[in-house]
Structure 1
């Protein structure tokens, strides 16, 4: 059986999403420093809004790759075994690193709880969320493949649009659903819709479905990206401007100027529209990058994307390194400049650390990728 051609822009897309993650976390840190000025707040609002695509794009990539590579001889045991070695084991090792560095060696039960919920570090929630898609993939596979067979042509497009509308409606009832589950408590489920709602895969389902639709109709997806770019770029730019405006407006409080970015919480209806358009826009950027295969920016993004999972796990630690550099060398600069420099330090060192660990024995246990040939070809699978 012939293998499908590789999706050449997928690594660039991963690279962009990873850099956006580091950007968001750097902004979150520097928004609280006392040296912040209004101009810094405005610039960070712009950068933060533009970087909000990160999680939706990663979820989209998961759906795209799984369904693009899906075969009739699917074996759930092999599927989960691969995800355990590539994703869960590195996640558990990094959870232990972050837990020990914060709480010490004691209280194993607390570590197990944090490992299960992604609380060992602020960024690990994403792994807990995306693993729900992997664990339930057989159900997703049955449902989406059945719909794919039944709803062809315009009916499939209508079904996808309906799923998007339902998702937007769902985002308007996140709080209501949480309150209802509190009134009718169910072990685990109630917490998943309240305390841990931000890592409930149900609240990110449409980005996964978008990816599945793209993977099943990849050529049509590429044509949509090219044909409708004026529409989705207009939506993306317009809503990005709106969220920058309301974010900056929220700085003024009764106690004076206070920098916060609560307005750009992911699980909101209008934000969902922005994020849908951002997936299309960022995918278009990735395509543009790959058209010049010798361009330095494309090679850099591809290289980053290849090591993005290990770098994602490590970047919270390398941000701490950046904060140390900032404390001793960068205090004379503007807060925005400090944030961008520290972001670069964190992104670069986390990728380099992943490269090094991927080349040592058992390094895959730590970063999810093993490189035996330095001229590693780009991977498509997640």
Structure 2
């Protein structure tokens, strides 16, 4: 392991989020046609890990502000993101569209134009919508750095940014609830959840966290039991909302864009921060988490590919009714190992190839 740098809060969030998000498509596969009791348990498990996109966004903004705390240079940043995120996204999008076209969402391509549309809007696979949304945060990163620079760790400015962000996000959530989630445009306006504003509170949260974590996080750590209690209450709230829509359980109704999920995601992010704070002195473990975080996004891109192959060809799907929980666990572990292994192997191979080409 070459990278011995310690992990930060953002690294922990990326690893937690990547690990949790790999479980979501697996639960979608296994829950179909299960007895009501199993559906109930899997629905609760799905809500438990439904914090991943907010955690990713918070973690990326936190780490970016930490690395560029004093100065910002757009070109080196965009060049780095192109290699770390852009190129892997293009290759994996093509892989899903060409090798696994049945995974497309909402519609299927039938021409060059529709092929490009499916690739750009994130419909190439169930999890690739996130790339479309994340790209907007990457493009707008100079604006976020300006907010960070303006904050300058000043408490009053922190409150101003918090209040404005909360009002904007709250208004957006209300608009989305009335018009999309529980409104007439549930299918026609689905691309609204690909827009960065749907996750703006977590991006700004990451910026605020870097500016004030040394003051706020130790204070929160004193009340970790109370935060766990609030987390459990909020999780129960999300469960109640999901099951109130009846059976069979439709996991797609566990949307991020509702107050319960917002509070739940924020509490999970805080708890991960408390875990990071308590483990900062664990040097070996911290280095491992940092190393994993470097591959988290690329492993995320690969995870549905491996999950689909394991589901189709390993024979594990035949146990989904007799042993659903063993099926889920085996598929989750296998997907995690293959996704992170693929990400590390491809990165190492490409780095080795570039070095050979440079020398020759």
Instruction: Please classify the TM superposition score into its range, dividing by the shorter chain length.
Output: 0.7 to 0.9
Match of 1:344 among 333, 338, 347: 333
Query: Is this contact kept in 1: 2:176–2:257, CA < 8 A?
Result: yes
**Contact 2:224–2:271 (CA<8 Å) still a contact in 1?**
yes
Q: 1:356 to 1:333 in 2, by over 3 A?
A: farther
CA positional deviation for 1:350: 0.8
Contact 1:12 1:289 in 2 (8 A): no
Q: Distance in 1 between matches of 2:240 and 2:280?
A: 33
What's the counterpart of residue 78 of structure 1?
A: 76
Identify which of 229, 236, 240 aligns with 2:235. Answer: 240
Q: Which residue of 1 aligns with 2:162?
A: 160
Report the CA distance between 1:304 and its aligned residue.
3.5
TM-score where L is the length of structure 2 = 0.83
User: Residue 355 of structure 1 is aligned with which of 344, 351, 355?
Assistant: 344
Q: How does 1:1-382 map to 2 (within 5 A)?
A: 6-32=6-32, 34=33, 36-103=34-101, 107-146=111-150, 148-149=151-152, 152-154=154-156, 156-157=158-159, 159-175=161-177, 194-252=189-247, 258-290=248-280, 292-293=282-283, 303-324=291-312, 325-327=314-316, 330-331=319-320, 333-361=322-350
Q: CA deviation at 1:69?
A: 1.8
Instruction: Sort the Cα spacing of 1:327 and 1:227 in 2 relative to 1 into closer, same or farther, 3 A.
Output: closer
Quote the Cα distance in structure 2 between the aligned partners of 1:198 and 1:88: 21
Counterpart Cα distance in 2 of 1:289 and 1:330: 38
What is the CA-CA distance between 1:162 and the residue it aligns to? 4.9
TM-score (normalizing by structure 1): 0.78
Q: Residues 12 and 74 (structure 1 numbering): CA distance in 2 closer, same or farther, change over 3 Å?
A: closer
State the distance in 2 between where 1:25 and 1:125 align. Answer: 14
Cα distance between partner residues in 2 of 1:24 and 1:8: 25
Is the 1:171–1:272 contact (alpha carbons within 8 Å) kept by the matching residues of 2? no
Q: Indicate if the aligned counterparts of 2:44 and 2:239 stay in contact, CA closer than 8 A.
A: yes
| 1:126-177 deviations in Å (ceiling 9; x for gaps) | 111111011112222224432x14x832552364255235423421112557
SS in structure 1 opposite 2:22? helix
Question: Root-mean-square deviation (CA), in Å?
Answer: 3.2
Contact kept? 1:14, 1:58, Cα under 8 Å: yes
Q: CA deviation at 1:356?
A: 1.6
Q: Spell out, residue by residue over 1:242-292, the C-alpha distance to the aligned partner (whole angstroms, 9 max, x if none).
A: 22234334344xxxxx12234421011232122222211222234445554
CA contact (8 A) 1:358 1:364 kept: no
Q: 1:309 to 1:316 in 2, by over 3 A?
A: same
Query: Structure 1 residues 344, 58: CA separation in 2 closer, same or farther (over 3 Å shift)?
Result: same
Counterpart-to-counterpart distance in 1, 2:78 and 2:42: 39
Q: Structure 2: state its 5+ residue gaps.
A: 103-108, 356-360
Going from structure 1 to structure 2, the CA distance change for 1:43 and 1:164 (only over 3 Å counts) comes to: same
Q: Residues 61 and 206 of structure 2 are in contact (CA less than 8 Å); yes or no, is this contact kept in structure 1? A: yes
CA deviation after TM superposition for structure 1 residue 326, in Å: 4.1
- Secondary structure in structure 1 of the residue aligned to 2:189: coil
